[in-house]
Amino acid sequence: MITFVLARADNGVIGMDGRLPWHLPADLRRFKALTMGQAMVMGRKTFESFPSPLPGRRHVVLTRDPMWRAEGAEAAHTPDAALALARGGDPDARVAVIGGAEIFALLLDRADRVELTEVHTEPAGDAIVPAFTGWREMARESHAAEGERPAYDFVTLAR
């Protein structure tokens, strides 16, 4: 199973200058719970946005640069190679795809599920993911705005 795990603003923004344009501790906890123990497929910029590799997860980095290497990362150079590496020989292994926008676009046709945090704001951003049309909503949990933090919904989508 290939699951996209991401937070997306109402205007499609997922990032600005390699960072999330909001701070939602509940979303970070959910991300950790959804990815713990799994291989995560991501682009180089997403990997480099972390202060260090995230514990308890494998980091498979899809990059065009054949010379790219980083501590705690496993490099792949094609979508097929990234998924094969993430699955480790088990075709039924669960894989979390965590971004960025180019990686989501490359793997969209292979995804089975989307674990989405809909962030109800419209920030400026340089990484944008279009709405997920044609997916079935399986679950939704709404959360009200708190202080400076915008309202958000945890949404599960399936093909």
| Region for residue 17 given its phi and psi (left: phi exceeds 0; alpha: psi -120 to 50; beta: otherwise) | left
pLDDT, block means (10 residues), the chain with 159 residues: 97 94 96 97 96 96 96 97 95 94 96 98 96 96 96 97
Q: What is the pLDDT of residue 57?
A: 97
pTM score, two decimals?
0.96
DSSP E strands, the chain: 2-9, 13-15, 39-43, 58-62, 73-76, 95-99, 113-119, 127-128, 136-143, 152-158
Length of the chain: 159
Spatial CB neighbours of 103, under 8 Å, sequence gap ≥ 6: 41, 42, 43, 46, 62, 97
Q: What is the pLDDT of residue 8?
A: 98
